[in-house]
Structure 1
């Protein structure tokens, strides 16, 4: 019977097997920053590839993009991040722990979407009833203060050409800023999507639970542009698609659910939003956001049309964002540069946008948690990661039973041949049973062993990870056998 997974089990396995390490560990580590080791980097790359395959490669109506991390400061003025991307925080006067005001409501679930400080202000009146999550003190909080979430730096070698820029807090704005470029350089027409995977950065007030929430993270976002009036239909479509993606790649259905955002919880740009939640082994009630699907309406494209009309004011005000106000919308904004002309219907409009937004790091953690299992085998505990083959870091391992009689040479040749097609691992150290266990813990679906019988009839033993069943096949059939059973 499978043991209930705890986060400590996952963290221990990740360190022991080279999935994930604390960043700068030799210097004591850097909080909320992590490095992916040999197995972890392969796992994360496979999760990325699985998302890209589903969202771009297998669809005719979605194209890819890779936008710059640094963008013009007016991008963040137009998007609202420069003015509103902040949390209200308070400090416990007993233990000096800083907390987000909206996370102090007793029994409330945490949400990763940052709320408008004006909306959070209503909670400030009730801080005398709030409990410190660190020490348990009640009502011992300082007055709320605004905490900016974007990392800021300077670009330019000389004083005259220096300007304030930001590490992007989301990848979505790079897509909106390139909407016209994609339209003009490809043959796409609404409805269509633009997808990208890339690093984002947020100076979070609180980080938690391993790689669940960090200040540097990787997002996988897609903005699907559709005609107003069809947005609810596409919203439903992408809800179903994204939920099913997690199931397809191995997440147990009972560990997933939808949670609709309440009206007063919606982001300022959203008409509707739903979270795909996963039952992580931590937090309040365990259910935590895995991915958000939002109906962003035409907010972003309209805002960027306003931002484009503000560029002269930005220069005139010394490139100071705090002194710039976005221009009012033109009466004919539907005819602006970020509009779309439907040549069949002979009409022009600003498309609505449906946005599935996932975190690659958070998804990787969910796949790790869901795959983790412990079971008793012949009186001993077997740790195993039951990854879907498509995301498993190693697809097959090849062993010589012993290091003599030509077995290492045969196994080495087979391994090198398989490496042209799969991520393959060769191991000749230790008892074969221990080698099986090491691969179980790495999540490797198949192990292939060259033994004495191989020398007689050219057959090898193929062992399947989950059932531990073994069968003999001809060595020339190994590649086709793996291709068929890995289904990749």
Structure 2
């Protein structure tokens, strides 16, 4: 039995031949066109023009750095998915950065207001309607084997194929395009939890699906969602509040806060279910992209999900009204890419021989930086030096400080090359342990942001790093 999903590429060739033999062009429309569509690296959802040469060079540098320094896995298709804000294959540093970003998002929505609860819903379900007005239409999961069996039937007419295909699609479970539906379905039990008092919110992170640029090719992305339920008379104020909060959050972790902005959604782009929308934008080299979108959605969708029964939706306020729904949705992968572009600095300096050197640094915020400390021994590690490094590594990891074990790698030709590598990885501090450490307990600590090298006793390094990271979290 084939795995559920779009027909694999190694199977659509057989279907193509079969289709030509029987002259069934209808199947080319429903199946082959989505498979044959291609990814366009520079297409940005139809809103931005082609990048200029300087922008192209910057994007190329960023993507190459992400591959070279283990943020994303190599490969043109994987790089293209990452570039377009889609789910992709991450390397160890990219996965750690993503985890840190999601952790900070969760903290921001759960601790910024009282009465925000986390939920988790399935991405594929037969219960209810999976779409809620954004984009329209359904995405459904069909097994490739079922389609093959239908096509391989003999003595079947075009009309019968269409009828069987429609029946197959109707039986297939829908895939969600956003997380709103799950929150609306869980509204009633949550209402009882809060004793029917407003406001409150439901937060979730999960995988969603959408066709890519109208081609029919299914793509996936990770969405963050906060659905906020409030009284009708306060919905406008709450939308403004959350718009300010979200912009403040994005700027908090940025190296250049001016790259982030908010903008009202133009009237012609407001979805049918909403009365007003706001976008949090980042100015990429190719133009602005929406990182989060906030909608004031009214009560129509909530009533629709619960079959128009107003009595079970009413809250304990002065008018016993049905709550208004505000949705705040974001694309995790696009947000991660925004912070990477925002943190990249390309610097020039002259060395001791007056030669111009180019230095790339990922100045990610300390709480987002995937690796806080790199441990190294410079020009080679003896057994004793490795033992010191391993002891310090375990001590740091016990306090949940991420460490890169550089002492296990072949040493580069110079310490400057080593530091350049760690700068591109976004490592906050490089700790170098030498023979002097064995005699005096002193080691060298080099800062990514200042490039200043300090001599510190090994007993003080833990307190120094803990205080630094703790202070960064409070900024």
Aligned with 1:201 (options 183, 206, 209): 209
* Secondary structure of 2:367 counterpart: coil
Distance in 2 (CA, whole Å) between partners of 1:257 and 1:404 is 52
The equivalent residue for 1:426 is 405
Q: Match for 1:412 among 379, 387, 390?
A: 390
In the TM superposition, residue 228 of structure 1 has moved relative to its aligned partner by: 0.8
Instruction: Identify the residue that residue 340 of structure 1 maps to in structure 2.
Output: 314
Q: How far, CA to CA, are the matches of 2:423 and 2:249 in structure 1?
A: 24
Rounded to whole Å, the distance in 2 between the matches of 1:477 and 1:373 is 30
Choose which of 443, 453, 464 in structure 1 pairs with 2:447: 464
For the residue of structure 2 that corresponds to 1:354, the secondary structure is strand
- Which residue number corresponds to residue 175 of structure 1? 183
Q: 1:448 aligns with which of 431, 434, 437?
A: 431
Paired with 1:403 and 1:22, the residues of 2 have a C-alpha distance of 30
Which residue of structure 1 aligns with residue 252 of structure 2?
Answer: 248
Go from structure 1 to structure 2 and tell me whether the alpha carbon gap of 1:206 and 1:400 turns closer, same or farther (over 3 Å shift): farther
List aligned pairs for 1:66-81, cutoff 5 A: 66-76=120-130, 79-80=132-133
Q: Name the structure 1 match of 2:461.
A: 478
Size of the aligned set, in residue pairs, is 381
Task: Describe the superposition over 1:337-371 as per-residue Cα deviations: whole angstroms up to 9, x where unpaired.
Answer: 3x1331xx464221112222111001000001001
Question: Quick one: structure 1 residues 66 and 180, their matched pair in 2 at CA, closer, same or farther if it must change by over 3 Å?
Answer: same
Instruction: Report the secondary structure of 2:437's partner residue.
Output: helix
Please tell me whether the aligned partners of residues 154 and 163 of structure 1 are also in contact (alpha carbons under 8 angstroms): no
CA distance in 2, matches of 1:438, 1:43: 17
Distance verdict in 2 for CA 1:409–1:172, change over 3 Å: same
Asked if 1:16 is matched to 2:24, the reply is: no
Do structure 1's residue 153 and structure 2's residue 180 form an aligned pair?
no
Q: What secondary structure sits across from 1:45 in the alignment?
A: helix
Change (3 A) 1:453 1:259: same
1:37-436 correspondence runs (5 A): 37-76=91-130, 79-80=132-133, 85-86=136-137, 150-153=139-142, 163-185=171-193, 189-205=197-213, 215-282=219-286, 286-306=287-307, 329=308, 333-335=309-311, 337=312, 339-342=313-316, 345=317, 347-377=319-349, 378=351, 379-401=356-378, 402-404=380-382, 406-421=384-399, 422-428=401-407, 429-430=410-411, 431-436=414-419
SS of residue in 1 equivalent to 2:455: strand
Structure richer in helix, relative to its length? 2
- CA, structure 1 residues 471+405, in 2 after alignment: closer, same or farther (shift >3 Å)? same
- Tell me the secondary structure at the aligned position of residue 122 of structure 2: coil
Q: Aligned partners of 1:33 and 1:301: how far apart in 2?
A: 29
Q: For 1:199 and 1:341, how far apart are their aligned partners in 2? A: 31
So what's the TM-score if we normalise by structure 2? 0.73
Asked if the contact 1:23/1:34 (under 8 Å) is kept, the reply is: no
Q: C-alpha separation between the residues in 2 aligned to 1:7 and 1:228?
A: 44
Query: SS state of the match for residue 419, structure 1?
Result: helix
Please report how far the alpha carbon of residue 34 of structure 1 lies from its aligned counterpart in structure 2 after TM superposition. 2.1
Distance 2:448 2:196 in 1: 44
Ranges in structure 1 where 5+ consecutive residues have no aligned partner = 87-148, 208-212, 307-328
What is the CA–CA distance in structure 2 between the aligned matches of 1:459 and 1:263, rounded to whole Å? 63
Kindly provide the CA deviation profile for residues 106-144 of structure 1, in whole angstroms up to 9, marking residues without a partner as x: xxxxxxxxxxxxxxxxxxxxxxxxxxxxxxxxxxxxxxx
8 A Cα contact 1:70 1:168, kept in partner:
yes
- Which deviates the most, 177-186 or 166-175? 177-186
Contact 2:282 2:338 in 1 (8 A): yes
Tell me by how many angstroms 1:275 deviates.
Answer: 0.9
Equivalence for 2:58: 6
Judging changes above 3 Å, is the alpha-carbon distance between structure 1 residues 361 and 412 closer, same or farther for their aligned structure 2 residues?
same
CA distance in 2 between counterparts of 1:154 and 1:348 reads 47
CA shift digits 1:265-321 (9 cap, x unpaired): 210111110111111112xxx122121111111122111122xxxxxxxxxxxxxxx
Partner Cα distance (2:176, 2:65) in 1: 32
Deviations 1:389-416 (A, max 9, x none): 1111111111123313722221221112
Q: Structure 2: how far apart are the matches of 1:186 and 1:205?
A: 41
Instruction: State the Cα distance separating 1:249 from its structure 2 match.
Output: 1.0
Matched residue of 1:478: which SS?
helix
The question of whether the paired residues in 2 share the 8 Å contact of 1:224 and 1:353 is answered with yes
Q: Distance in 1 between matches of 2:228 and 2:255?
A: 25
Structure with more of its chain in strand, by fraction: 1
For the 8 Å contact 1:221–1:358, the answer to whether it is kept is yes
The counterpart of 1:437, out of the listed 411, 415, 420, is: 420
CA RMSD in angstroms comes to: 3.1
The SS at the match of 1:268 is: coil
Contact 1:33 1:214 in 2 (8 A): no
TM-fit CA distance, 1:169: 0.6
Query: 1:23, 1:29 within 8 Å by CA — same for their partners in 2?
Result: no
